Amino acid sequence: MKTLLLTLVVVTIVRLDLGYTLTCYTSLNRESKTCPSGQNLCVTKTWCGEMCSIRGKRVELGCAATCPIRTPGLDFTVCTTDNCNPVPEREEISMLLSSILDHP
């Protein structure tokens, strides 16, 4: 009887959706955070801000519930696995510099 109850408990736990939590990069220094419930996408957005020719493109990393709306000048990538949204390599140095200059 105990074996049957234990088996039922194990099967119930396995069948329950315990909720997979996605983690995404949220900062330029590769800090990763768990996404809030309902946000199942990692996003990397890039765009030209002020002084783009000097600083390079701006970068925003984080979690999202839906894909961003496509607008002129905004590039983005969306992915669904843990930490799949790193800073684009070719822009990494200029983004770090831009972030430092924007937040004295």
pLDDT tens digits, residue range 63-97? 999 999 999 999 999 999 999 999 887 654 455 55
Whether residue 14 lies inside any domain: the answer is no
Distance CA 79, CA 100 (A): 27
pLDDT value of position 1: 60
> What pTM was computed for the model?
0.65
CATH of the domain at 58: 2.10.60.10
Whether residue 56 lies inside any domain: the answer is yes
Whether residue 3 lies inside any domain: the answer is no
Distance CA 25, CA 87 (A): 8
**Over residues 11-16, mean pLDDT:** 42
Q: Tokens for 28?
A: 């330029």
Q: Is 30 left (phi over 0), alpha (psi -120 to 50) or beta?
A: left
Q: Provide the number of structural domains found in the chain.
A: 1
**Over residues 20-25, mean pLDDT:** 91
Q: What's the domain range around 78?
A: 22-99
